[in-house]
Amino acid sequence: GPLLACLGCFSIQNNSQFALANSLLYAHAWSLHTLGALDYMKALRKQKFFWIYMVQALFSTAFWWSSLRKGLEEVTLSAVFPLLVGPIFQYGGRWGLYEYIRYCRGYPVAGDDKYDAFETRKQMGELTAFALGALLVFVEF
C-alpha cells in the first residue's frame, strides 16, 4: 500500500488536486496508527473517536473520488482501475490483516476482553465510504 500510494500520487498528469486528494486519503488511513498507539498508551480511548474518524473517512474518500473524476478525460473502468490499485492494496491489506487478527483471537464478540468495537465497525464504515465515493464517479447526478 504505502509504496503504491507514493507512486500513484501523480498518476494523473498536471493534476495537483488528485495528488492532494491521494495524500489526504493515505494520511487518513495511516492516522489510525497514531490513534491505536495513543489508545495503547492509555492517552485516549479510540472508541470515542469512531464517528470523527468515519466522517473524516467519508470526506477524504469523496474528495479522492471527485478529484479522480475531474482529473480524467474519460471515466471508464480501464482508466480508473490502475488508480485503484494502491487503495485496494492499502485497505484490502488492512482489512485482511484485521480479519486474521480476529481469527487468531478466536473471533471475539462484544463483551470479550479481546473485542475491539472500533476496528470491527470501521471495516464496514470504510467500505461504505469508498462505495459512496465511487457513486460520485460512476453515477452522474
- pTM of the predicted model over 0.85: no
pLDDT, mean over the chain? 85
Which residue is associated with the grid cell 474518524? Answer: 53
Q: Return d(Cα 141, Cα 135) in angstroms, integer.
A: 10
Q: Which residue has the higher pLDDT, 72 or 41?
A: 41
Per-residue pLDDT tens over the stretch 110-141: 888 888 889 889 989 999 988 888 887 777 65
Please choose, from the candidates 6, 134, 8, the residue with its C-alpha nearest in 3D space to the C-alpha of residue 82: 8
Q: What angle is formed at CA 37 by the lines to CA 85 and CA 104, rounded to 5 degrees?
A: 70
Which H helix or E strand runs over 120? helix 117-138
Reading the block at residue 90, the C-alpha cell is 492499502
Structure confidence at residue 69 (pLDDT): 85
Per-residue pLDDT tens over the stretch 80-121: 888 888 888 888 888 899 899 989 989 888 888 888 889 889
Q: Return d(Cα 127, Cα 64) in angstroms, integer.
A: 14
Poorest-confidence range of 2-16, 51-65, 66-80?
2-16
Reading the block at residue 2, the C-alpha cell is 504505502
Which H helix or E strand runs over 101? helix 77-104
